[in-house]
A and B are shown apart, each in its own frame.
Chain A
């Protein structure tokens, strides 16, 4: 029974993450349509949601062409590294009390490590393609990730200092009285911006700036290996939203509106509902960012990171430490 439950959780999280990413492709296009006075995919099935299946079938049956000039083993491995590492990070997310694959006592570090690993997928993909555009894309992504990684980690340290633990379950439970978005507002802002850069979403999608670099690091990819990058990117969006929810917005915490039924397992359902609602809000915000924000120049991105974000993070860290010291 224990094993079956564990397996159910593992596969539920694995498949759920992919499904969320797949539905997100459709959701993003519909929302962009809403904001740009057009329709988006509306043909296949109900509100066009069948486009997800159609896209998936198309991806699977397309010719997966490996360019003869590419470094073959690395070229094949790179999308798997990206997808796999982002997938792994979902293991530590507590969706509801008890609904998590594993409650690592270094869960936050595991997430940071895995999202850093995803950079290797992008970087190696760009390098092994042996093409100029892909190389520039990979290079940009490396520089962007290295600089944003620094304060992405530091911005979470305030939360860790308050909670006294890296475990995500403990972090959520520590927000029972007050969500960390209030006490760690600077940390939240910085983590969010770093998260956008980490999942290279549109305001910061310099690695694949299609106006300048064709498709950036995945210029040479086709078929399902391209699809893996795409799924990886959308899963990155889900991942960052899920982590913002968990760390700053109280994860599953919310009013238990089904308590009057008196059925015990329904409280888990409401917990998960609140978690999903919060995560969906941030996913929508990511899509809105894509609809509204122009892409900064590369040096602007770097100077924003080093000159504004890093000092803000350090300030947040110092103030948090000071306040904590005063309280004890």
Chain B
């Protein structure tokens, strides 16, 4: 009974004195506390919060080292997308490369889950640590390919799908890519 009452007062004292300990410029606690920040609040617009490299924010489409689009319009991202916010249409270039005719992400539905990034076989679609995408009109949150495509390679520099995938395009036959082995002769009996 008495213990409980004393405990209540100890709590009150602890919380109240915490303020002085924390804010004391001089005193026995200065060495310990003086170097600490006085508050945990991040004052956002002036002071940016720390965002982890793997933070899942705004989605971008990256390019391969040659500056070509990485996206091959396989539709895996669109099919895995839980809120169905990705829409794209495959088309083919003259040299045999596949690319999306249009690529549309509705960011008003996107929940930044990152499943599209995991599904992407060519590292084309990537989530970036950018989150300041506020708009006054909902239509402005629908990003077309021109808004999504960036010039760089994103998180996987040096990766080019056509160099490793064994698909023939104009100027590069099967197995000619840097990371490719020549095609196996399936009629040969030798190992």
Chain A residues proximal to chain B, CB less than 8 Å: 33-35, 37-39, 288-289, 291-293
Contacts and interface: CB of A to CB of B under 8 A. Distances in A.
A220 B47 CA distance: 38
Contact-residue bracket for chain B: 10 to 19
Nearest to A39: B41
A190 to B, nearest CB: 13
A292 B41 CA distance: 20
A35 B41 contact: no
Given A34-B23, A292-B16, 9 more contacts: A35-B15, A35-B16, A37-B39, A38-B40, A38-B41, A288-B12, A292-B12, A292-B14, A293-B12
A292 B15 CA distance: 6
A172 to B, nearest CB: 28
B8 interface: yes
A289 B11 CA distance: 9
A289 B12 contact: yes
Residue of B23, B39, B43 with most chain A CB atoms under a 10 A cut-off = B39
A33 B16 contact: no
A37 B16 contact: no
B48 interface: no
A37 B40 contact: yes
Contacts of B22: 37
B8 A293 contact: yes
B74 to A, nearest CB: 47
Contacts, number: 31
* Interface secondary structure of B, over-half rule: helix
B173 to A, nearest CB: 63
Contacts of A33: 39, 41
B38 interface: yes
Nearest to B36: A37
A38 B37 CA distance: 10
B19 interface: yes
Contacts of B39: 33, 37-39
Contacts of B23: 34
Contacts of B40: 37-38
Nearest to B45: A43
B25 interface: no
B11 A293 contact: yes
A51 B135 CA distance: 25
B18 interface: yes
A35 B18 contact: yes
Interface string B20-55: 001100000000000000111101000000000000
A39 B19 contact: no
Contacts of B41: 33, 38-39
A37 B33 CA distance: 12
22 contacts: A33-B39, A33-B41, A34-B19, A34-B23, A35-B15, A35-B16, A35-B18, A35-B19, A37-B22, A37-B38, A38-B39, A38-B40, A38-B41, A39-B39, A39-B41, A39-B43, A288-B12, A292-B11, A292-B14, A292-B15, A293-B8, A293-B12
